[in-house]
Structure 1
Amino acid sequence: METTMKPAHIGRKISRIRELRGIKQETLAQELGVSQQTVSRIEASEAVEEDILAKVAKILGVQPEAIKNFSEEAVFNIIGNNYHDHSSSLNYQCTFNPLDKLMEVIEENKKLYERLLQSEREKVEILRER
């Protein structure tokens, strides 16, 4: 039983690496000296000429072989296995009691309300005197 492998879609790999690097199509186009539509066509192509691939790879800061062999699963495995930043939101340790902060806000709100109420009373008193 013979299985045929689907050829690697180089354009899609370029697109994904560009997105992971936070580079817009317009920026890549400007660096290549082409239009954004040309970059879009490159990213839609299954095959890309070697010279264009080399230029794109240089702009993206990778080797052409890295684009050819790019695997999204491998990237996420590497990130997952090497990312140990303890300041991430997953491990966030609150340095204050949120209930204390809530009570402070409620007290401040109450004081503002009392000042507003006093101001309204003074206005009513001024109007009565006239």
Structure 2
Amino acid sequence: IEDNLLKQISAVLKIPVEAFQNFDEEQAINIISNTFDNGSIGYQNNDTCTFNPIDQVLKLHEEKIALYERMLKEKDEMMMRLEKLINK
């Protein structure tokens, strides 16, 4: 690849020109095959995931309900204070 074109590609992809010039296909294949397993990204094997996503969703839902209940309680308290001020 011509230097001018290589510099343009490097700028667009934000990859140093040296990365293209020193590219080793065998090493790249080795890195990819040791990084990805069965189409998964970021996991070396299926045992890596240590939490149940449904449990996490339920936990967030419970936290949301607790927050809503606290907000309702604060609203009721505020309404009582306002009623007291109005009645004075």
Q: Deviations over 1:67-114 (max 9, x none)?
A: 4xx8x7xx556412x121258x52524210011111111111111110
Partner of 1:23: 16
Structure-2 change in CA distance of 1:113 and 1:104 (3 Å): same
Which 5+ residue runs of structure 1 have no aligned equivalent? 1-7, 25-59
Which 5+ residue runs of structure 2 have no aligned equivalent? none
The worse-fitting range, judged by mean Cα deviation, of 118-127 and 89-98 is: 89-98
Partner of 1:85: 35
Aligned counterpart in structure 1 of residue 66 of structure 2, from 108, 111, 124:
111
Structure-2 change in CA distance of 1:17 and 1:123 (3 Å): closer
**Shift, 1:129, TM fit:** 2.1
Name the SS of the counterpart of 1:96 in structure 2.
coil
Matches within 5 A, 1:40-119: 60=18, 67=21, 75-76=24-25, 78-80=27-29, 82-83=30-31, 84-85=34-35, 90=41, 92=43, 93-119=48-74
**Bigger relative CO (Cα 8 Å, ≥ 6 apart):** 1
Structure-2 change in CA distance of 1:118 and 1:12 (3 Å): same
Paired residues, what number?
Answer: 77
> Please, what is the CA RMSD of the aligned residues?
4.0
Question: Percent sequence identity over matched residues?
Answer: 26
Partner of 1:38: none
Runs of 4+ in 1 over 6 A off after TM superposition: none
1:85 counterpart letter in structure 2: T
